[in-house]
Amino acid sequence: MSAPVATPETTTPEAPRHKYDRIPYLIIFNDTSPYRDTYGGPGGQVALESYLLKPRDVESDTAIVFMHPIGGGAYLPMMNALARAGHHVIYCNSRYRGVDSALIMEKVVQDMGACLRDTKERLGYKKVVLAGWSGGGALSLYYQQQAQHVTVSTSADGDGPDLATLDLPAADGMMLMAAHISRHGSLTEWMDASILDESDPSKRDPELDLYNPDNPNQPPYTAEFVERYRAAQIARNRRITAWVKAKLAEIKASGRPHDEFGFVVHGTMADPRWLDATLDPNDREPGTCYLGDPQVSNMIPVGLARFCTLRSWLSQWSYDDARADGIRCGNDIAVPALVIGNSADDACTPSHTQRLFDAIGHPDKECHTIAGATHYYDGPAQRGPLNQAVGVVGDWLARHDFS
């Protein structure tokens, strides 16, 4: 076991650069869900858009597999840099590519299982290392927990899929990169605690409104204020959950069990850490978040959980009901694990990295912090930190015979 360590930019020389091919392909399988929650394509089938980034001059029996609940990361700097460093990389989009309003985490687990089967059976890789980037971290931990010993027979609302009926190949290793603890955990920590009425977000507690200039509580926040704010965030999440459960029970009791109900959750980007850099400190820029200005991001259409369905809320956003929880699942992990945090990350702050590392139950685990790295390693200034991260990955893979 290794304790968390900083990885300065000078420790790892630039890795050799390899040419690679980006090979798009589809993974198609039958789905027996009684209702559809994605748009387009033939009924009864799921098609996963996937990409194999394959170095032209490096053979390998190991594939690094990425999946995020809503995908979209196939062209991120890290994926390209790993392939240039000679690693075989697969980025597989879930069925919910780009739209999480109706997302069911258990169906994403089903998608990941289809990807791993295809990686080994059709593509011929003998070993798979799951790489959980950002929101893919908790997903990967949930998947691996269930692949090792399945315990989930329904989604959080009581419907399917039954994971015990699926073939879920376990991975051989685990990497968590710029990962947060869970979607529901992050949402709750980011929720606007001041909103008192979900149908009218203008009704707010002025003393909890982070973006109210007349709020007497201003950065740097007192410990008492932060404790009050965090409790109010959890209480708000639970109020929404109680309403969701009551609404879903009403629908099922009406004799139309497959009906759904869509709703909006306002104000989901109001974490005190974005305004007060002394909270969970790292090298991020105060007054910003990964979506830009946090006050603007708080109410824009792309905020977390902005558009939801009842079942999706329970599966991915409910503080008490969602199961893809990196902390709870991490303890059951039975393969070596590498955890990488970024010191200038304005989405996944250091406590998330530390909590994930501490939670992993396997004794062979390491944690590294990449100095100066942002969440996406985006832009010319991030080439150094990106190279450092790739070097850490390459060293860990080589020492664990993932080559």
* pLDDT of 8 higher than 50: no
For 58-71, what is the mean pLDDT?
97
- Could you read off the pLDDT of 361-393 as tens digits, one per residue? 999 999 999 999 999 999 999 999 999 999 999
3-state secondary structure of 170: coil
Q: What is the pLDDT of residue 1?
A: 59
CA distance 180 to 162: 26
Contact present, 205 and 217 (Cβ < 8 Å): no
Query: What is the residue-wise DSSP string for 228-266?
Result: HHHHHHHHHHHHHHHHHHHHHHHHHHTT-TT---EEE--
Q: What pLDDT is attached to residue 33? A: 83
* pLDDT, position 11: 46
Q: Give per-residue pLDDT as tens, 199-223.
A: 999 999 999 999 999 999 999 999 9
pLDDT over 90 (residue 38): no
Q: How many CB atoms lie within 10 A of CB 10?
A: 9
Question: How does pLDDT run across 83-123, given as a tens digit for each residue?
Answer: 999 999 999 999 999 999 999 999 999 999 999 999 999 99
pLDDT of residue 31: 87
Domains along the chain? 5-182+323-399 (3.40.50.1820), 186-317 (no CATH)
> What is the mean predicted confidence (pLDDT) over 157-161?
88
pLDDT, tens digit (0-9, with 9 covering 90-100), for 79-88: 999 999 999 9
Per-residue pLDDT of 16-26, as tens digits, reads 799 999 999 99
**Contacting residues for 106 by C-beta, under 8 A, at least 6 apart:** 152, 154, 155, 160, 161, 163, 315, 323
pLDDT for res 43: 72
**φ, ψ of residue 153 in degrees (nearest 5):** -110, -10
Q: Per-residue pLDDT for 302 more than 80? A: yes
- Residue 12 pLDDT exceeds 80: no
Cross-strand pairs, 91: 51, 66
Of 269, 281, 71, 300, nearest to 188 by C-alpha is 269
3-state helix, strand, coil in the chain (%, to 5): 35, 15, 50
Q: How confident is the model at residue 14 (pLDDT cuts 50, 70, 90)?
A: low
pLDDT band at 15 (very low <50, low <70, confident <90, very high): low
User: Average pLDDT, stretch 278-289?
Assistant: 94
CA separation for the pair 284, 303 (Å, rounded): 20
Share of the chain above pLDDT 90, in %: 89
- For position 5, what pLDDT does the model report? 52
What does the pLDDT read at residue 9?
Answer: 41
71-80 average pLDDT score: 95
First to last CA, the chain: 21
Mean pLDDT of the chain: 94
